[in-house]
Amino acid sequence: MEIQVLENERDTLRIALPKGEETILIPLVEALQAEEKVLEARYYVGHPFLDRPTLYLKTKGEKPQATLKRVLKDLADNYGDALTEFDKKAEKVKG
Domains contained in the chain, CATH given: 4-94 (3.30.1360.10)
pLDDT of residue 93: 67
**pLDDT of 66 over the 60 cut:** yes
Lowest mean pLDDT among 9-23, 39-53, 71-85: 71-85
Which residues does 56 contact at the CB level (< 8 Å), separation at least 6? 12, 13, 14, 40, 41, 42, 43, 44
Q: Would you call 47 helix, strand, or coil by DSSP?
A: coil
pTM value is: 0.82
pLDDT of residue 69: 95
Tell me the average pLDDT of the chain: 90
